[in-house]
Chains A and B, each alone.
Chain A
């Protein structure tokens, strides 16, 4: 069992040349690089597919009643229709029900939470000018506390109808979305926070506030193009 031990003992006193040391590390690093590239090549496609599938499932979660979707991306200030499969470049998903009626649009938003970035997807209904659905795409909030933003029924109930109305005079959001303390929600644009998960629930509010301020005006400007996207093929 110890046949290699003596040789290691003997090699110890005489120092190998620096070239030999560098060569060893270089070769091992090359081998390492080779293995990693190999694994990356094999797994890149399934990883991308997983992310696509997760996002796709999330779209229909935040747009209740939607059955089909159309992808859009921003081109200047107008929305440009994209290919269905081009999920990477999509900035906005429009969801349609069985009759071809626009249910709403799904948008991504992000903010810094207690432990790293929280990425969310929310559904916005242009007819009601309100958020109608919400799900967390990615977060690393504290298990049992901060991660309640993903599962707490009372918190998620906030997003069944959360006002994000435009002020016709200014063209901006009339009442920015804000997270308040648990049980203190009084207005339709306020999110009832989670006690014990203050930072995380405020981060969600911040993500939605920034996200809606940026996107709701654009959506409302392009709402006709969105509505007709299902019937007329790409009218923008």
Chain B
């Protein structure tokens, strides 16, 4: 499924990120393909906040549609 379908509190594994620039930046933040993160918050119709340890990242909804994830 894609990231925008994830519900708040669910733990997920990042399967693939399409855009290369985004993929590279996500690696810096520690969210490489294959890493396990938690959906911390979902802004209605807006960004999705992912958490990994103490790191929080907000991802726009349109981008979330293009990130494949799996429930962990």
Q: Do the two shown chains form a genuine complex with each other? A: no
- Which B residues lie at the A interface, using CB under 8 A? none
